[in-house]
């Protein structure tokens, strides 16, 4: 762990706003080692929301084969996306997503993106605060939300969200190094707790079913017949293995394909440090999702909801158990489980609010990131009071990734492809423009096409993002050609400088 604080990292450099280098490349002295990213990714993705997502797989009727194999494949694709798409640009340009996008798209274009991005992050972090608040609710005994609740249902709920949100906001406001330090402390303990959730729930199933588990085959039979039975709850998404693969791959689409983690990986000394994302994917988005789904599956088993007929009847009567992380963790590990849920929510919401603060700070660069992050945390806390966001987490995560995906394609094409085509990279900066139609047009047209595919072609939202990325890439190339060729006198004069712009501030060699 680096011993640098935000202040020592910044030194006396007046351009390093708040010590976070929001509008300049991260210098050598502020770069971080590999273990910082292990802790951050493990802490961020082994989180309270895993106790929400895991049960949603059970509600979606996944089978044992679908969920296990689907998560193995999907999480591998996610790690490769960080490694091959995000990190190479992050460790060369070493700029935040927002400042790099401003150079490409112009300030007026990027303001709209930053608003959408920041608000999406606020909703995501709000769901994480909601998760932590469910543990506080078990502790103090006030009524908790149900699957049907969209708004706050008690004063105790509002107060719990306010307290948890205040703590998380203060941690995020002190910057990435403080976020990383917090995650490194909490992550190892949380990993053990989630492993404990899985072991306890497996023991429950063995005892309840009277199964003798003497081999891997016996364990797999138990998983197929009692845990992930493939029975879908009406009113919830209906998942196949392809849903699981694409959900696992694109659950963090905004961070890797959408390039949001440029803001984090710009601190990495080497681009391969992004392999640390595997700690989050296979500890959090594999082990923790499976452990959490097992906890909820046992609640379904206890209620006798193991057949399609029983599940349909229970759904019609409103008797499906509520997949709330607090009660699930309390049932499994008592007070230790409740503490785990609270801290797990913190470690995930911290970097998310940090990212949202960067997005909003890019809109008002004259205001310190600390103050902007405090305001962001207040907005996030307000969102967290509405439990409906967390209850619809699968669909929201898919929509959120889709919203930001086209900009990731724009950044990738601008950095690697446009110079090879004789076009200008960082065009807005080079041409002195505050609004560029190639970026705005690519973003809006891609989203419109994807939404048409969802609405009229009836392609599920989980599957439109992949073709959407290629649509965005081709659109951006075509619109860049059209725009820059109309500006030949000016663009030609800046072509050589712009073509080298992504690597002029940093090393162009492989890191």
Domain boundaries, given as residue ranges, for the chain: 30-394
233 sits in the region (left: phi over 0; alpha: psi -120 to 50; else beta) called beta
Helices first, then strands: H and E counts in the chain? 24, 0
pLDDT at 366: 86
Residue 281 to residue 252: CA distance in whole angstroms:
10
pLDDT along the chain (511 residues), means of 10: 34 47 88 88 78 90 97 98 97 91 90 86 87 89 82 90 88 68 71 91 94 91 94 91 96 92 93 96 94 94 90 88 87 88 77 80 82 90 88 82 93 97 94 91 96 92 95 98 74 43 40 38
**Inter-residue long-range contacts of 478-486, CB under 8 Å, 24+ positions, other chains counted:** 479/437, 479/438, 479/441, 479/442, 480/413, 480/418, 480/423, 480/427, 480/438, 481/421, 481/423, 482/438, 483/427, 483/436, 483/437, 483/438, 484/423, 484/424, 484/427
pLDDT at 19: 59
Contact present, 443 and 110 (Cβ < 8 Å): no
* Alpha helices (H) in 273-426, listed in sequence order: 277-279, 289-302, 308-317, 325-363, 369-384, 388-391, 393-412
Residue 321 to residue 145: CA distance in whole angstroms:
12
Contact present, 98 and 358 (Cβ < 8 Å): yes
Q: Which two tokens stand for residue 48?
A: 């309270």
**CATH assignment, 30-394:** 1.10.4160.10
What are phi and psi for residue 458, nearest 5 degrees? 60, 35
CA distances for 433 relative to 53, 107, 110, 252, 436, angstroms: 43, 8, 12, 31, 7
467 burial class (0-12, 13-18, 19+ CB within 10 angstroms)? Answer: middle
SS3 450: helix
Residue matched to tokens 């070493």: 94
Instruction: Give the chain's end-to-end CA distance (angstroms, integer).
Output: 21
Measured at the CA of 195, the angle between CA 161 and CA 73, to 5 degrees, comes to 95
């Amino acid at each position: 762990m680096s011993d640098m604080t935000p202040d020592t990292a910044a030194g006396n450099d007046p351009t390093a706003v708040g010590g976070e280098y929001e509008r300049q490349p991260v210098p050598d002295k502020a770069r971080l080692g590999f273990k910082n990213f292990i802790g951050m990714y493990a802490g961020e993705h082994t989180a309270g929301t895993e106790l929400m997502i895991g049960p949603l797989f059970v509600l979606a009727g996944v089978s044992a084969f679908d969920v296990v194999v689907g998560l193995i494949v999907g999480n591998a694709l996610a790690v490769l996306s960080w490694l091959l798409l995000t990190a190479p640009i992050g460790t060369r340009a070493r700029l935040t997503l927002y400042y790099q996008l401003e150079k490409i798209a112009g300030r007026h274009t990027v303001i709209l993106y930053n608003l959408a991005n920041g608000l999406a992050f606020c909703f995501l972090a709000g769901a994480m605060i909601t998760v932590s608040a469910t543990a506080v609710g078990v502790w103090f005994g006030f009524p908790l939300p149900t699957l049907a609740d969209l708004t706050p249902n008690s004063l105790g709920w509002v107060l719990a969200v306010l307290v948890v949100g205040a703590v998380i906001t203060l941690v995020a406001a002190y910057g990435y190094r403080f976020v990383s330090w917090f995650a490194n402390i909490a992550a190892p303990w949380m990993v053990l707790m989630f492993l404990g959730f899985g072991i306890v729930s497996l023991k429950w199933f063995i005892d309840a079913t009277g199964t003798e588990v003497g081999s891997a085959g016996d364990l797999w039979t138990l998983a197929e017949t009692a845990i992930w039975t493939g029975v879908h709850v009406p009113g919830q998404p209906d998942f196949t293995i392809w849903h699981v693969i694409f959900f696992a791959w694109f659950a963090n689409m905004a961070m890797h394909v959408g390039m949001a983690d440029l803001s984090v990986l710009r601190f990495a000394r080497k681009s391969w440090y992004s392999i640390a994302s595997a700690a989050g994917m296979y500890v959090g988005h594999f082990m923790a999702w499976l452990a959490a789904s097992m906890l909820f599956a046992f609640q379904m088993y206890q209620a006798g909801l193991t057949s399609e007929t029983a599940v349909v009847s229970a759904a019609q009567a409103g008797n499906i158990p509520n997949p709330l992380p607090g009660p699930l963790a309390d049932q499994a590990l008592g007070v230790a489980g409740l503490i785990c849920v609270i801290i797990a929510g913190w470690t995930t919401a911290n970097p998310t609010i940090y990212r949202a603060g960067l997005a909003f700070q890019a809109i008002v660069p004259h205001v310190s990131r600390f103050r902007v992050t405090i305001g962001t945390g207040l907005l996030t806390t307000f969102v967290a009071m509405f439990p409906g966001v967390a209850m619809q987490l699968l669909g929201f995560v898919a929509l959120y990734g889709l919203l930001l995906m086209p900009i990731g394609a724009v950044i990738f094409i601008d950095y690697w492809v446009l110079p090879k085509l004789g076009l200008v990279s960082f065009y807005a900066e080079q041409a002195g423009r505050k609004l560029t139609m190639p970026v705005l047009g690519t973003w809006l047209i891609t989203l419109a096409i994807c939404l048409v595919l969802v609405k009229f072609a009836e392609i599920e939202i989980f599957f439109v993002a992949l073709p959407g990325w290629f649509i965005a890439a081709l659109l951006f190339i075509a619109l860049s050609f059209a725009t820059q060729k109309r500006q030949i006198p000016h663009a030609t004069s800046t072509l050589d400088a712009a073509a080298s712009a992504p690597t002029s501030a940093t090393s162009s060699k492989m890191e």
